[in-house]
Chains A and B, each alone.
Chain A
Amino acid sequence: MARSDGGRTPADDWSARLHGLWRAALDVEAVEKMSRHIYALMLDEPGVVAVVGSRWDGGELRYVRHMTPDGGRPVLRTRRAGPGAVVAGPGRTAPKPGAGHEGDGPAVLHHDLTGPDDGFAPEHALFVEAGARHALEVRFSFGEGDGDGDWAAFSVGLERPQDAAPGLATRLTQLAEVLVASNRRVLDHRAHERQQIEDAFLAEASLQMDASLDVQETLGRIARLAVPALAEGCVVHLFQEGRLSLVASAHVAAAAQPWLVGVAHDAWLEDRIRAAADRRLGSVVSGGDLAGSPFGPRAGGPGRAVRAVSVTPLRARGKVLGTLAFVHHRDARDLPSRRLLDDLAQRAALAIDTTAAYEQRRRNAEQLQRHLLPGTLPEWPGVSLSAAYEVADDSLEVGGDFYDAVVRRDGGLALFIGDVCGRGAEAAALTGLARHTLRVLLEDGASPADALSRLNAVLVAQSTPRFVTALAAVITPESAGRTLEAASAGHPRPLVRRADGRVTEVGVSGLLLGVLGETRYEPVTVPLAAGDSLALFTDGLTEARSADGTMFEELLPQAVRDCCRGDDDAAAALIARASRFRALGDDDTAVLVAHVKGDR
């Protein structure tokens, strides 16, 4: 064997070069980038006048590359196949899959270029042009997916067959093995990256779904996130009163947004959406199946062809809520996986269902709460009333505070306020019972103390585990010398603001309701004069705390002095002041203020 410089044999050189190729193969981000190494390497081989590579998808040429010495400086040219691409001839078949395994690895073929093209296009012409009369081709499976028709060929052209260095065929096979391995590594890496992207997308989507409890907003956010990560357009339909209605849409191009909304109401798409809603998993319509759709080649639109439309049902807890549809202008290889679309739809459906259930429950709580409070307060000569109620948080549970005012048969005005411990359905039921019992008794003429005693008996008979506090008061008519008679069952003492600004507590107390049977309550009577105000409230007001722990109770006399001067919104003003003060404490608050009209 001839020796080259430094005692290295050509075989040693080839081994070193092959080793370099393997290292490059493990480093490139795209297998196409291997071309910068292998074409020049083979053109360096003795007798080689041109190197040509071709890549085939499903029997059609994707691109061809060739390198010739071109005045001493090798030049690599790439020609991408356009429409009417060269189709592999019948004699040029795809190699068997599984390249690299014994028996079905890359195949080496010899071509005599002096005769007519033997199905060796487009290489034949390129080699002849470069002055080659003989070619060696290695052909190997080279797919991006599972397609059998995806392969590549790498060939060298020689002026004479005898110019070929010994082992040239082996070298070509070794090159093919490097390319196949490099391609496999790149594809594995891309699949892994794609999986990571999909996981990251689903994680971001879940965050978006948590951002709002409004169904429409949530879906708008999901559509916005998905465009253009997954598709160029997204439309979401939900069943509303038995019909599918468009609730959110997004297109990557602002100008295409109106087009997309129009398309979302198109009969063709509505049919697909209705059909998809009946299925368990999503479906994709592409290519010729889009004919007749608003996405066909002749249809108007954003000026870009739609390559696929995917529709996935939104199902949660056994219910079909609607559909999630994507419009893809992108290439088929960039379409999101079925797994991602189904997973996204499933998460979105659960979020919608949870949000809808929350919304329904919130509405129920709101309605119930409204029924537990009086719609309007009565008109009574000489006294103006104002009331306010504040829910501490956006709770789904009905609070237990209640109040009311009623004109008595004897002409007096009865006022009461109370608080059932806790929240929720049971608290709401007790609140209703307490409010209506007190209202009927006081309206009928019972004294505040008697009304509380009888309510206590009712609650004890119910064996309720919840405590109830209440304060009842009756203001006598002016003709009877206006006085206030009050009784309390464990409730915060009311305050009276005199016309001159003094604020005093009505010293009334008594045992909580519902604890002991046969409880009697001691009434307290105080005179009321023109310009005086009486403020009744629940402990949500007094127990509001600032960040340093100060209770609003300490500031309450001043607040009553400032707010209860006969204004129509005295109760709301008191609550607002406590709200501004409150950093801690999440109890509901009810306030009822009665102001005796006249000079202050």
Chain B
Amino acid sequence: MTDGGEDRVDHGSVLVVEDSPEDAEAIERALSRTHPELELEFADRGDGLVDDLLARGRLPGLILLDLNMPGLSGHAVLTAVRARPELSGVTVVVFTSSTAPAEVDACYAAGADSYVYKTVNFTLFQTVLKGAVDYWLESRSASGGPPSPM
């Protein structure tokens, strides 16, 4: 899958796209507790994100994308990422505070790999994030991709 940038994908690295500093901090706290070995990187907006990724030598294995952001929305970022075959090796997990089936369908149609509900309770959100991150880390290592650092 060299055309999908698979050889450039670093499965030990996660990019979190979240505009709220409080939520970004909560995600950092959650992931450094459940997956201390992961390298975390944060972006507070979607504008310019795809160009930035395309210019990189190494791509994050996973993007955690907040759907509700000012400026370029999460939906728009998702669509832009999926429009680039060079980024097809990057897993995109979107998260939002809605469980409305229509919203989930729209994200899947736009190419999200996972749709995760952003719970109000932090400890529960940590469990939800752990579930999604565990799944993708293990899936990537099971599917013959680069071994996960776990």
Contact = CB atoms under 8 A, between A and B. Distances in A.
Contact of A329 (B108, B115, B135): B135
Contacts of B117: 224-225, 229
A255 interface: yes
Interface in A222-275: 224-225, 227-229, 232, 250, 252-255, 257
Interface in A173-198: 193, 196-197
Contacts of B115: 224, 254
Given A200-B124, A228-B128, A229-B131, A255 B113 contact: yes
A329 to B, nearest CB: 7
Contacts of A253: 113-114, 135, 139
A224 B119 contact: no
Chain A at the B interface: mostly helix, strand, loop or mixed? Answer: helix
Contacts of A250: 104
Contacts of A303: 139, 142-143
B121 A203 contact: yes
Q: In the complex, which of the residues A208, A224, A252, A257 has the most CB atoms of chain B within 10 Å of its own CB atom?
A: A252
B9 interface: no
Nearest to A214: B101
B135 A304 contact: yes
Contact of B114 (A196, A203, A221, A252): A252
Contacts of B121: 197, 200, 203-204
Contact of B116 (A200, A228, A329): A228
B7 interface: no
A260 B19 CA distance: 33
B113 A254 contact: yes
A304 B108 contact: no
Contacts of B108: 254, 257
A220 B121 CA distance: 21
B139 A228 contact: no
B101 A302 contact: no
A234 to B, nearest CB: 12
Contacts of A60: none
Given A217-B101, A229-B131, A200 B139 contact: no
B64 interface: no
A160 B120 CA distance: 60
Given A204-B119, A220-B101, A229-B128, A29 B138 contact: no
Nearest to A329: B135
A29 B34 CA distance: 11
A201 interface: yes
Contacts of A211: 99
B123 interface: yes
Interface residues of B, number: 28
A232 B135 CA distance: 8
B37 interface: no
Q: In the complex, which of the residues A254, A302, A329, A330 has the most CB atoms of chain B within 10 Å of its own CB atom?
A: A254
A229 B116 CA distance: 9
Contacts of A225: 99, 117, 119
A250 B139 CA distance: 17
B11 to A, nearest CB: 15
Q: In the complex, which of the residues B112, B117, B120 has the most CB atoms of chain A within 10 Å of its own CB atom?
A: B117
A465 B8 CA distance: 81
B53 interface: no
Nearest to B103: A224
B95 to A, nearest CB: 11
Interface string B106-150: 011000111111011101100110011011001100110000000
A453 B33 CA distance: 81
B133 to A, nearest CB: 9
Contact of B123 (A196, A232, A254): A196
A339 to B, nearest CB: 16
Given A221-B99, A253-B113, A228 B123 contact: no
Interface string A298-338: 00001110000000000000000000000001100000000
Nearest to B126: A197
Contacts of A203: 121
A228 B101 contact: no
A203 B33 CA distance: 24
A200 B33 CA distance: 19
Interface of B: 33, 99-101, 104, 107-108, 112-117, 119-121, 123-124, 127-128, 131-132, 134-135, 138-139, 142-143
Given A208-B99, A224-B115, 4 more contacts: A193-B123, A229-B124, A252-B114, A330-B131
25 contacts: A197-B123, A204-B120, A220-B99, A221-B101, A224-B104, A224-B115, A225-B119, A228-B116, A228-B128, A229-B127, A232-B131, A232-B135, A250-B104, A252-B114, A252-B116, A254-B108, A254-B112, A254-B113, A254-B114, A303-B142, A303-B143, A304-B139, A304-B142, A329-B138, A330-B131
7 residue pairs, one from A and one from B, having the closest CB atoms: A228-B131, A200-B121, A221-B99, A200-B124, A220-B101, A224-B99, A254-B108
